[in-house]
A = this chain, B = another copy of it.
Amino acid sequence: MDHLQARTARTWLATAVAEARAGLAEGGIPIGAALYGADGALLGRGHNRRVQDDDPSMHAETAAFRAAGRQRSYRGATMVTTLSPCWYCSGLVRQFGISRVVIGEAATFHGGHEWLAEHGVEIVLLEDAECVALMHDFIENNPALWNEDIGE
C-alpha cells in the first residue's frame, strides 16, 4: 500500500469530523467515521447513532462500514475515525482486513489501535485539536452517556 499523504489524511478526516458534527447537531455522541477504498473513493460514511436510533450497535465506524454495503475485499481500504477505535470497532477492522486506520485523536479515549498495529494494520494518529475539543466538551457535559457508549 502506498504511503498516505498528510494532505489526504487531513481531507479524509474532515469527512469524519463533518459526520461527528452532524451527530452532535442531532443530539448524539459526536464521533464520525468514513471508509475509503484502495483507490481513494469514499465507500461509506456515518456517525454514532446510539441516541438518535436507540441503537447501541451503531458506533461511527460500524455506521460507515454499514453504509459502504457489501464489499468483496477491504484490502487497501482506510477507516477514518475522529476517535481511537474501541475494541468493538478495532475488531471490525481486524476481522475484515481493513488495511489502514486514520485516527483524529486518542487523547480522550484510548482504544485498540496499538493492537491493530501489532496485527499489521497501518495506523495514522493525527492528534487533531478539533477532534479533541469535540470529545472533551461532550464527555464533560455527558459523562453518563459517554460511559454507556463504551460500556463503562
Contact = CB atoms under 8 A, between A and B. Distances in A.
Interface string A58-75: 100010011011111110
Chain A contact surface mostly: loop
A112 B97 contact: no
Query: Counting chain B CB atoms within 10 Å of each CB, which of A62, A94, A150, A151 scores highest?
Result: A151
A56 B87 CA distance: 18
A152 B55 CA distance: 28
Contacts of A91: 86-92, 94, 112
A70 B112 CA distance: 23
Interface residues of A, number: 32
A128 B96 CA distance: 27
Interface of A: 50, 54-58, 62, 65-66, 68-74, 86-92, 94-97, 112, 148, 150-152
